[in-house]
Amino acid sequence: MHARPPLRPAGARSRPHARSSLAAVFGVLALTAGCDGRDAPADPRPAPTASSAQDGPLALYRLATLRAPDGESATIEALAPCRVLLEVVQGARHDGGHWRDLDPGDALRIVFGLVPDEDAATGSTGAAAPTGQGRRVGYRLHYGFAEGDLRNSLVRVQARGPSPWVRTATATPPVSAKPVPEGGVALATLAVADVPSAVGLALVSGPVPAITGAPPGTPAEHLQLVSLWLRVSPR
């Protein structure tokens, strides 16, 4: 088993590889065929495809040795050229994303945390939600890249009743490095449910966050989720 090369901080670039002698031979053959009027011989190597480019994991993630002061911390190691994206998803809304491009061997530390915030729940005036509009649930979401690029986002969910069921979940990165799942990882989730009875309700944080145990026929808008996602895509 070959040892992996040492990690580089994100932004460092590897030296370009020299062209192989085989590639040079194919270049000469193509030039020769062009000179005598015949078609150049086809390159025997298969053309790259989207699926072949994504064979194998793009990046690994694990629990970081440095813990975030107000949440969790994880280290991402790139195995192939990829883009690391952090985005907040609330229903059909996306926050536009917060991303970094990595080369093989680059390492990046991310931090994330979710804490209640009464000011966020009541609004800047300190007033409660208007009568009949239900309770407003407010949280502060801390997330970003540890190298001086952090965000402190206000997350509000407007419930329909005065006493909604509220739960949060924060992912714990694995101690040993594992591939980032193809669909991504929900790092932190806020769940708010408006149902007659909270008996049997549960927040399942992964692989896709969901509120389970709701009575059959519960409208989807009565089960609200806000999640911070970590995703990795090829580039």
pLDDT in tens, 136-183: 999 999 999 987 778 888 999 999 999 999 999 999 899 999 999 989
- Report strand pairing: 106-116 vs 8-9: parallel
CA nearest to 233, candidates 102, 84, 98: 84
Weakest mean pLDDT among 50-59, 72-81, 121-130, 176-185: 121-130
C-alpha dist (Å) from residue 178 to 175, 181, 182: 9, 9, 12
Q: Confidence band (pLDDT; 50, 70, 90) for 125? A: very low
Cβ proximity of 107 and 140 under 8 Å = no
Q: Residue 16: phi, psi to the nearest 5?
A: -65, 145
Weakest mean pLDDT among 2-6, 34-38, 103-107: 34-38
Answer whether the bond into residue 116 is a cis peptide, omega within 30°: no
Per-residue pLDDT, 10:
64
Distance of CA 159 to the CA centre of its chain: 26
- Separation between Cα atoms, residue 150 and residue 88, nearest integer Å: 14
Of 14-28, 46-60, 177-191, where does the model show the most confidence? 177-191
- Separation between Cα atoms, residue 60 and residue 77, nearest integer Å: 5
- Separation between Cα atoms, residue 126 and residue 212, nearest integer Å: 33
Q: What ranges do the domains of the chain cover?
A: 20-53, 56-234
Question: Over the stretch 178-235, which tens digit does the pLDDT of each residue have?
Answer: 999 989 999 999 999 999 888 999 999 877 899 999 999 999 999 999 999 999 999 9
- Separation between Cα atoms, residue 78 and residue 97, nearest integer Å: 19
- Separation between Cα atoms, residue 129 and residue 159, nearest integer Å: 10
Cβ proximity of 182 and 171 under 8 Å = no
